Structures are given as C-alpha cells and as structure tokens.
Amino acid sequence: MTGKGLHHYQKLDVNKPKNDDALRVVYDEWATKYDDDNDATLGTISQPKTVEILTAVTDKDAKILDAGCGTGLVGAELAKRGFKTYDGVDLSPEMLRHAKNRGYANLFQYSLNDPLPIPDDAYDAIVSAGLFTHGHVKTHAIRELIRITKSGGYLCFTINEGVYHSQGFDKEIQSITNDGLWDIKKLEKDAYMTKEQVQAYYCLARVL
C-alpha cells in the first residue's frame, strides 16, 4: 500500500487501540492527499456504492448525515444524485475544511466514539463509508447513529472486513437486531478498496 499521503495512515499500528487525538493528527496530515490516495492508490468505491444503496430507499428531500465524512467524497456523490440537504461530521478539522465545497448544509467536528450533541430523531437517514475500520470508531457508535435517526429512516454504512468479526461488529449487529431497534434490509460483503483487494460489509437497516 503506497500513495502520496498514505504514510500518515501507516504510522498507526492497526493492532493497537487508537485514541482520538492520534487519529485526528493522522487525518489532519493526510487531508490534502486523501482524495488522490482513495482513487489512484486504494481504488475505494464505498462512497458511490453506499450512496447508491441509500438512493433506492430514501427520498431526495431527506435530511441526511454523513458520519465520518472526511473530505466529503460521500457528499459529492449525494450531490450528484440530487440530494438537497445533508450534513457531515468528522473528527478532523482539516478533513472538514476540504469538505466545505461539497454541498454540506452543516459540518460538525465531533468524535463518533462519544455521545453526539445532536437531538434524537434529527435525521431521515445516515450514510457512512469507511468509518468502521481498524482502530477507529467502536461498535457502540452504531446505537448512537440509530438514536439520531427517525423511526422509519435508514442507516447505510460499511464495516471493513478486517474488523467485522475481530472487533465484534457482527455481534453488535445481532444484538441491535435482537433489541428490536432496526430491520436489516441488506448485509453483504462486497468490494471496498479494489486496488488493495479489500472488501467490506455493506449494511442497510431501517430504524424501528
């Protein structure tokens, strides 16, 4: 895995827990090269794929949150598909600076490992591509995303195959289902970083 800015990410040991401060530094440093690396080096397709999945079930007038929005690659896809109102949240202020010109109504700098200062039922849908990966955001964040989604709304998110079982995302998804908080509409493994032969689980769930 080589690229113009990937050395910033490679400084992280994926086998050790990360704190938000360390992650923020890495993504702040990576921000200017992030888009190029995602396209040319990694071949990441999760942004258009998650938006495509969400488009099939969500009205274009829906209020959407892009959780872990980074430089706004998902926002650019939402704009292409005619969505009108979407916010973004990310840990890195430099990533958010790059996202400013991609159509977001509001951009927030929060850690998604913490409770979000966002009211219950604030969004019609939440989309997230790349948030749940090695040593980043923990499984409990899924329930927080459910909290801020309206009943009948949708969550569409990816989970890197490398953490799906090892960090307990499979168990948390089943626990949320058992608690009657959502109805899983789609959960399947598919291409994620095509140039690295990395796959992810794509999950679409309707909040109950």
Each residue's pLDDT, cut to its tens digit, for the chain (208 residues) gives 444 444 555 555 544 545 788 888 888 988 898 888 877 677 788 999 999 999 999 999 999 999 999 999 999 999 999 999 999 999 999 999 999 999 999 999 999 999 999 999 999 999 999 999 987 899 999 999 999 999 999 999 999 999 999 999 999 999 999 999 999 999 999 999 888 888 999 999 999 9
Name the one residue in this structure whose structure tokens are 């626990």.
Answer: 175
Which ranges in the chain belong to alpha helices (H)?
Answer: 6-10, 20-36, 46-55, 73-80, 93-99, 141-147, 161-164, 169-178
Could you tell me if 89 and 155 are in contact, meaning their C-beta atoms sit under 8 angstroms apart?
no
Alpha carbon distance 78, 72 (integer Å): 10
